[in-house]
Structure 1
């Protein structure tokens, strides 16, 4: 009976979170047909930070709101949460086409960047404090957003993803459904040097010369969907982008069986790149929302 009561509470919490989302019907900037859902936090800061939360395959904006705590945290910390909704029948985002891997190239990544612009222009969002987080397909998109739109996002948090560009499929288009799938990447068979990965990121917005967004990366060693070698490939990619080689590993942090890796100087709230390897954890690593808030500087 206690278990049934607890499960009922979880279901009620998820329903409440998803019910708090509002579909933005007048968002039509495109270029792809993603839905835009928002939660405008109570006691909104002026201007308000923005957190873009990107769902996984076979997911949805409302579903991801129910699975995570970002809507409640929007109330607690006074930010705007944006939940993009995939146009794909399978609920995945396009991280495979040249369009989405190019700054203002016309793919899903540009549509999400345009959602941020909408929130800044019409909802009181702060363009200097924009962050993104995602799981699985949403994690892959988070890597792409940070790579192709470093002028928009200040930090990203990635749960069980792959490096930006790893899912590139030659000939994939921004409108195809389902988006391209790259087996070699998903299976952890696509490896590159840190320099090669870094060059790919820089090629997505070759004219950018500003400060790159900070990155926090989680991955489970038992991930059988986007396999564990993708963790090290992501760390290679971003460490090269940041020009960092020195790192410090700390075992059993933040919990038993997890290993924290901090690149360069700083702490988990100031370092440019922080990774978490979760021993025995599959796909996907459970969301660590409190850590995200601290990493984004919102808590």
Structure 2
């Protein structure tokens, strides 16, 4: 009986040793990803389980942060494990008062193909498309604070690359006049007095890519009502920009409360598709995204 038990144990052990153990995905730095005029660093998270042509999400940190820091502090990597998309975590290298921030103020950064950080980010997207078979029809941008500002930027400059975005605590595209106008809270953009017309905001986007007639990426916007660093009033300026780009009314087609303290306004086209969503987070300061918000952004993207 002892011999039989020993043989059975040995057989089980050999089978266990021969069975491959699933590898655990980890954050990996990519050093040669193409044109990089912003001198940026790139990290990528590729989940073990993913479809042949996964969606791509560019997730961008706030001033003073980093790609690895945003990987650790946000929910995008854990959601990538569940939903099978690849996450790009860029690290900004531009020094601007609060530490390293994404360049949303220079003339180069406001021009399609002009250079600086936007060109570097597009290179990262192209690298993931080529290396991991990323789906060119499912490329999305999101970010917090400086990263939210860059989300507005990327969707304005590259509507042919990005299909949707989710900007947390951002500002409209072309809000900052130049390097001297950054960072918050002393800039003209974020001192609480910025107020352009929807037409002016929309024109700023359209002028980046004259003659473009293709589809525009839809936009989800998030802001805390108690944010004093990037004032809550800028959410309305973002709404005006993107509803104007889509030719939509400034009046939401619906409002609701998906979770307590999350007040959502939706701006839909005649077919009922919400092209712009705006979330006012009651009582929240400069602290987004918080729990559950990344999942809501991915639902908006259609990455389920």
* Structure 2 counterparts to residues 181-260 of structure 1, below 5 A: 181=183, 183-245=187-249, 246-251=251-256, 253-260=257-264
Task: State the match for 1:98 in structure 2.
Answer: 107
Could you say what the CA RMSD is over the residues aligned between the two structures, in angstroms? 1.9
Task: State the match for 1:281 in structure 2.
Answer: 284
Going from structure 1 to structure 2, the CA distance change for 1:78 and 1:256 (only over 3 Å counts) comes to: closer
| Residue in structure 1 matching 2:56, options 47, 50, 59 | 50
Going from structure 1 to structure 2, the CA distance change for 1:200 and 1:110 (only over 3 Å counts) comes to: same
Asked whether the 8 Å contact 1:42–1:76 carries over to 2, the reply is: no
- Establish whether residue 126 from structure 1 lines up as the match of residue 132 from structure 2: no
Going from structure 1 to structure 2, the CA distance change for 1:266 and 1:274 (only over 3 Å counts) comes to: farther
TM-score (norm 2): 0.85
Describe the superposition over 1:128-177 as per-residue Cα deviations: whole angstroms up to 9, x where unpaired: 110011000000000000000101000000111110110131xx4xxxxx
Distance 1:137 1:157 in 2: 13
- Which structure's CA Rg is the greater one? 2
- Aligned residue for 2:154, secondary structure, equals helix
| 1:257 positional shift | 2.9
Asked whether the 8 Å contact 1:219–1:284 carries over to 2, the reply is: no
Going from structure 1 to structure 2, the CA distance change for 1:238 and 1:109 (only over 3 Å counts) comes to: same
TM-score (norm 1): 0.86
- Aligned residue for 2:105, secondary structure, equals coil
- Establish whether residue 63 from structure 1 lines up as the match of residue 66 from structure 2: no
Structure 1, unaligned stretches of length 5 or more?
Answer: 1-18, 173-177
Structure 2, unaligned stretches of length 5 or more?
Answer: 1-24
Aligned residues: 272
Describe the superposition over 1:206-226 as per-residue Cα deviations: whole angstroms up to 9, x where unpaired: 232100001000111111100
| 1:45 positional shift | 1.2
| 1:188 positional shift | 2.3
| 1:266 positional shift | 8.0
